[in-house]
Structure 1
Amino acid sequence: MKYTRITALAAISLAATLSLTACDGNGTVKDSAAKGSSSSSSSSSEGGSSSDGGSKPESGSGSGGTQADSAKSGSGEGTGARTDAANGAAETGGKVTFCKTEDLAIDAAPDEADSGRINITMINRGSTTCSATGFAGVDIKDADHTSNPIERGHAQPRITTLKPGDAAVFDLAYDIDTTGNSLASPTNILVTPPNETHTVTLDWPANAGAIKGAYTDVQVYPTHTTN
C-alpha cells in the first residue's frame, strides 16, 4: 500500500511535471511565434522602408526635376543677363564701330566773330550708328604751303555716338591777334576723324580771327555731340 501510494504520487508528480513542461513548451512556442511575428512585422516594416527606398528614386527624380527646373531658371537668367549685357553694350557704344571719313560730312565755321574758336562739325551721313569719340587729327596749312600739326588741349574725351543724321563738333581754340601783325596765314584745315586715317581738307573760314603767335599756340579739343 505504501509502495502504491508512492507510485501514485510519483505518477501524479510526473504528470504535473509533464503538464508544466507542456505549458512552458507552449508558452515558449507562443513566445517564439510572437517573436517571429514581431520579427516578421519588423522585416515587413523594413520591407516597407525598402519599398519606400524603392520610392527613393522617385524622390531623387523629383529632386532632379527641381534641379532641372533650377537649371532652366538659371539658363533663363543667363539668357536675360546676356541680353541685358548686349543691350548695355549697344547703349554704351561697346559694339559701335568708329565713323569712317567717307561717311562724314565735315565743315568748319567760326563760333563767333573774333572769338578765337572754330567749330568743326561732322555729320553722320552713313546708314549705321558710329562713334566719333576722341580727338580728331588736325593740321593747319599755311599760305607758304607748309603744314603744321595742332596740339591737343587739356580735356577728357566724351562718348560721342552718332546715329544716322546726328552731328558731332570739336573746336580749334587760339588767341586773337588784334595788332594786325599776325605771322600766320592759314589757308586750309586738314581733318582726320578720330581713329581714322583718311583726311578731309577744309577751307580756313574767311571771317575767322587772326591767330596770335605760332600754330603751336592753337589747340584742338575732343568731339562732343550737339544734343
Structure 2
Amino acid sequence: MRAHKLTFAALVVAAGLSLTACQNDDAAVGQTDPSSAASASATGGGSGSGGPEADSGKESAGASPGGKDTAAPAGSDGSGKVAKCTTDGLEITAKDNFIDGDPDGTVAVELKNRSGGDCVISGFAGVDLKTAAGSLSATRTGAPGDPYVLKDGKTIAFAINYPLNETGGSGVRITGLVVTPPNETKSVTLAWPGRGSLPVTDGSDSGSVKVGPIGSAGQGG
C-alpha cells in the first residue's frame, strides 16, 4: 500500500512539471510573435516612399537649392551699373575763386547732379573762353582722378586758371565761358565771373588758360 502511494505521488509531481513546461513554452511563443511584427512594421515604414519620414527628407533636400538661389549676388547681370553724368542731367555754374596774392586768376566751375539718380564722372571737361579776339581753348593740366560717383543732388567742381591782366592796358576782353562735361558733346555757355580781360601777348595765347581735372577745385555738398 505504501508503494502505491509513492507511485501516485511521483505521477502527480511529474504531471505538474510537464504542465509548467508547457506554460513556459506558450509564454515564449507569445513574446516572440509581437516582437517580430513590430520589427517588420518599422522596416516597412522606413523604406516606404510615402511615409512621413520620406516626405520630410524630400522637403529638407529641396530647401538647400532654394537657399543657394537666394544667396546669389544681385546685379551680376550688369543691371546695377551707374550711368555716366550727362550735360542734361547737370546744373553747371561758375564763380570767381581768386584769392588776393595768387599769381593767376581762378574760376571754379561747379557741376551739380540734377538727374534724379547717381552718375559717374571723371577726367577733364572741355573749356573755351569766348573773347573779343575769338575763342580760346584751355589747356589740360594735372592728372585726372579715378571715376567718381556723383550722388543725386551733390556737386563736384574743377578749376580754371588764367593769367591776370596787369599790363595797365585794356587787354583781351572775355565775353563768355563754354563748358562741355567729360565724355559729352553738348556744351553750355555761361557768363564769365572772373577778371574782365586777359593780357595781350605776342603770337598765340595757347597754354595761357589752364583747366584742371574734375575734382580739382574741391567737392561741394
Common topology (TM > 0.5): yes
Aligned twin of 1:194 = 182
The residue identity in structure 1 corresponding to 2:140 is: E
Which runs of 5 or more structure 2 residues have no equivalent in the other structure? 1-34
CA drift at 1:175: 5.4
Aligned twin of 1:63 = 57
The residue identity in structure 1 corresponding to 2:68 is: G
- Asked whether 1:72 is paired with 2:59, we answer no
- Asked whether 1:131 is paired with 2:125, we answer no
Question: What SS does structure 1 have at the residue aligned with 2:134?
Answer: coil
TM score, norm. by length of structure 1: 0.57
TM score, norm. by length of structure 2: 0.58
Contact 1:132 1:168 in 2 (8 A): no
Map 1:17-36 onto structure 2 (within 5 A): none
CA drift at 1:64: 2.3
Which residue of 145, 148, 171 maps to 2:159? 171
- Asked whether 1:143 is paired with 2:132, we answer yes
The residue identity in structure 1 corresponding to 2:119 is: S
Which residue of 108, 129, 135 maps to 1:119? 108
Which residue of 205, 215, 219 maps to 2:206? 215
Q: Deviations over 1:123-177 (max 9, x none)?
A: 34x361343612211122332123325324323145141423x322111134556
More strand by share: 2
Farther-moved stretch of structure 1 (205-214 vs 167-176): 205-214
How many angstroms apart in 2 are the aligned matches of 1:158 and 1:171? 17
Aligned twin of 2:8 = none
| Aligned-pair identity (%) | 21
Aligned twin of 2:74 = 82
How many angstroms apart in 1 are the aligned matches of 2:170 and 2:146? 31
Query: Could you say if the C-alpha distance between residues 113 and 141 of structure 1 is closer, same or farther in structure 2, counting changes exceeding 3 Å?
Result: farther
- Asked whether 1:154 is paired with 2:143, we answer yes
More helix by share: 1
Aligned twin of 2:47 = 53
How many angstroms apart in 2 are the aligned matches of 1:175 and 1:159? 30
Count of paired positions: 177
The residue identity in structure 1 corresponding to 2:64 is: S
How many angstroms apart in 2 are the aligned matches of 1:184 and 1:215? 14
Question: What SS does structure 1 have at the residue aligned with 2:74?
Answer: helix
Contact 1:176 1:212 in 2 (8 A): no
Contact 1:156 1:222 in 2 (8 A): yes
How many angstroms apart in 2 are the aligned matches of 1:196 and 1:162? 19
Query: Could you say if the C-alpha distance between residues 156 and 119 of structure 1 is closer, same or farther in structure 2, counting changes exceeding 3 Å?
Result: same
How many angstroms apart in 2 are the aligned matches of 1:113 and 1:208? 16
The residue identity in structure 2 corresponding to 1:100 is: T
CA drift at 1:190: 1.0
Query: Could you say if the C-alpha distance between residues 61 and 149 of structure 1 is closer, same or farther in structure 2, counting changes exceeding 3 Å?
Result: same
Which runs of 5 or more structure 1 residues have no equivalent in the other structure? 1-40
Query: Could you say if the C-alpha distance between residues 119 and 184 of structure 1 is closer, same or farther in structure 2, counting changes exceeding 3 Å?
Result: same
